Amino acid sequence: MVSFPNCKINLGLNITRKRNDGFHDIETVFYPLPLYDVLEIIARPNSDNQEEISFSNSGIPLELNAEDNLSVKAYRLLKKDFPHIPVLQIHLHKSIPMGSGLGGGSADAAFALRLINDKFDLSLSSRQLMDYALRLGSDCPFFIINKPCFATGRGETLETLPVDLGNYKILLVNPAIHVHTAHAFSQVTPAPPGKSIKLIIQQPVASWKNELKNDFEEMVSRQYPEIRNIKDELYRTGAIYASMSGSGSTVYGIYEKEKKTPSSFPGHYFVRELTGQL
């Protein structure tokens, strides 16, 4: 059984409060885009070791061992509550860069939960799948819904929004920099926004440049000037709006469909032009 976990970008990101549990409250809009990993799961009957799981990968090399991969953790999580789930063979083909602010690992986890639920008739509701997903990561529940959502709390409180960028194209540019999310959070001073992203996102895209901000971007750009340079280049070449996604390091630009996107980035950058909707 095969599925295709997609990436997301953040349309704005405000860090609003440090919580007593050590996490932060945020507000953002998660927006899904058509850049896909490939996830396949196959039951392995007659295995001698019922705790054994086979994991393989291709595409972009993984930085973690198999047991730390979120799709494997998703299997382990469900296996505890549904011991009849058989031993699995999991193959993951990575196309979404890791540590990039695009949510690829979270998508892999959520899609693994959905695949296992469907394949083995667990009859879990979307709400139940979201509860499992939250145990794997703060933005994993979004990928259960996988529609544009206004997110608050840790990112798990989700409200679908009628945001549609289908009339635009979006350029993703990742400079092969891995930004550690925990460190990024530690460098930001939380504060309530003057105007909620939920209100800003309902305005025309052309107005976002002056109001829609990512609280991580200034700090990450100071540490990695390439981020600022990419954003400047996107605006120079006609992007209506450009921003860093999540805690970085991917920067995206939103362009009118007839506008030519730049192709002059260094060869080691990951650059993809996408349509503005799944």
- pLDDT tens for 92-125 read 999 999 989 999 999 999 999 999 999 999 999 9
CATH number for the domain formed by residue range(s) 2-160: 3.30.230.10
- 69 against 182, higher pLDDT: 69
Catalytic position from the list 37, 108, 139, 215: 139
Confidence band of 63 (pLDDT split at 50, 70, 90)? confident
Q: Above 80 in pLDDT, residue 49?
A: no
Indicate if 118 belongs to the active site. Answer: no
pLDDT band of residue 268 (cuts 50, 70, 90) is: very high
Q: What angle do CA 242, 262, 233 make, to 5 degrees?
A: 45
Is pTM, for the whole model, over 0.85? yes
User: Region 179-203: what's the mean pLDDT?
Assistant: 91
157-160 and 38-43 beta bridge pairing: unpaired
Instruction: Using pLDDT thresholds of 50, 70 and 90, give the confidence band for residue 165.
Output: very high
Domain covering 168-275: architecture: 2-Layer Sandwich (3.30)
- Are 133 and 109 contacting, i.e. CB atoms less than 8 angstroms apart? yes
Query: Per-residue confidence at 52, pLDDT binned at 50, 70, 90?
Result: confident
Task: Please pick, among 8, 94, 169, 231, the residue that the annotation labels catalytic.
Answer: 8
Instruction: Give domain limits for the chain.
Output: 2-160, 168-275
Alpha-carbon distance of 21 to 252, in angstroms, equals: 32
Is 8 annotated in the active site? yes
